[in-house]
Structure 1
Amino acid sequence: MRPPGVSMTHRRRLAVLAFGAAAATALLPHAVQAQAWPSKPITIVAAYPAGGVADQMARVLATELSKRVGQPVTVENRVGASGMIGANHVAKAAADGHTLLMGAMAEIVFTPHMHDKMAYRPEKDLEPVAMAVRFPFILVTNPSFPARSAREIVELARKSPNQYTYATGGNGSVQHLAMEMFTRSAGIELRHIPYKGVMPALTDVLSNQVPMMFAGFPPAMPHVQAGKLNAIALTTKERLPVAPDVPSLAETPGQEKYDFPVWVGLFAPAGTPSAVLDRLHRESVDIFSTPAIRANIEKAGMTVSAEPRAEFASFIRSEYDKYRKVIRDAGIKDN
């Protein structure tokens, strides 16, 4: 029986209003969280040592982001296990936009294919936010090595399979994957000499303990300019304006499809509110696109990328699939 004076139509309207209020209340935590972000200091985890590209980009972002959001932004280096220690820390952090990862290829798209068990799964536990920079590796040789081009390296290796060696920063490292792609597409065999880090590997190429390696463009170029290393080729399809005389590997006959851009990007724990992710994306793109910051980045042989967040996420998925095939075909396992 209806209370006197209350029509059925009025009761229905009250029910609709009550349902709408309940739905709004259910959505309120995320909305309030996004609107209030940041409500405390932000930490950007760099999964690599101080001085590397991920660390450098994290510090550039931290300095400028702090000015824009009115909260301290600090960089914390959580190093080890090919970036997995830092990535796992962020994957397990609260999904509120206050703990972020400046991540790289190894812990995002390589290691899932090298380990049967992992403490985190990057494709499920980390949300792509924004690309920071892309840059090529550069194939360098000791000046005493007889080959002066990628074609000559291929010719030597075909005449003497497994005679020549190359250095990397470790089994399953970015340098290792770059060389695997090169040797497999060229149909040659080189012996892998893994080191515990990039700098020991580069040191031994400089001292001619090992004749060649793929090295990061920024750390290798000063040695090239000093005549201590020969620059053979870049891993990206395009030449760099800051090194126009260094060809790309794709210019070598048989290597036309070779393309191995190295990248660093910002990630957040899965479940972070979309409004927070969008704000982080906008701020990151704007910071790295600032003329003075972009100019310094480009001087180091890197390029700034400003694609939309959805496009960055799609790129990460394509990289994940691309390197799954390379790693499985090569039988690489991280020991």
Structure 2
Amino acid sequence: MDDLDIKNIRGLSEEAAAQRLEEHGYNELPSARERSFLVIMLDVVREPMFLLLISCGTIYLILGDLQEALMLMGFVFLIMGITFYQERKTERTLEALRDLSSPRAQVIRNGHKKRIAGREVVFEDILILEEGDRVPADAVVLSCTNLSVDESLLTGESIAVHKVPCKGIMDMHPPGGDGLPSVFSGTLVVQGQGVAQVTATGLETEIGKIGMRLETLETEDTALQKESRKFVINLALAGVLLCAAVVIIYGLTRNDWLNGFLAGIALAMAILPEEIPVVLTIFLALGAWRISQKQVLTRRSQAIQAIGSATVLCVDKTGTLTMNEMSVTSIFT
């Protein structure tokens, strides 16, 4: 490699690496916090659809219809159970994939090359980059031979960019530039080999900064959530008005306000579709199961709603969205 003999590189000592690891933490992005059962339960209950179920169950309980009340409350717990099971199953799968995808790094410590977990790379570590390696941290190339890196993870461009050694200046450049000395965490070495010195780890890397920005995004309600919320509110108002009309008419004509109140509630309950929340949740769960057959994971059921409402997808990054590779489909002689 260009003007640099690996045998003359000492790298960090194990003691210095351990101290930096203790000071700055592991070279990894923080995992998304798992939502507890209580948080999932509150998210489910806050939806007007499920408030309708709970309200109907409470009214049936007050009226003494224990069977109907238990059935509706059972629906609520069924929906919570389906939602909780789906989210936990997806989270466990994502954690397993995250562990499998954690790159191994080849570094020079005390003058010797060694393989370590990518999460143990620290600032100013000397990296040995070879074809097929996943770059474990942001670094500046000190020396290289025909080094090309796929930076589509950061830029969206599927064509690999050529890297050159730095000329004494250890400054980082933005990703995507051809003929620059900077390599970035998570990108893939597709050709050549090189030696690089780490300049940033963990949240200080380019991919870490992207992750921090994503944490600030707020999730918006999907079109289906907005429409169902509007539908339930209108339906509830119609039920209340109808109930009030029945009570007033019954009370004025028969002078029996108690039975009029019971008749109004019974009529209102008859027109309220308590099954809608259950059917909606089951269909969303089935949607998540169907796309899981295509190797796609669904962390939140709202994603199914958003995907279902998409009619046109406009993209220009074909090499990034597809596999950007060819594979053998059949062999013949």
TM-score surpassing 0.5? no
Provide the TM-score with structure 2 as the length reference: 0.23
Larger Rg: 2
Provide the TM-score with structure 1 as the length reference: 0.23
Where relative contact order (Cα < 8 A, 6+ residues apart) is larger, the structure is 1
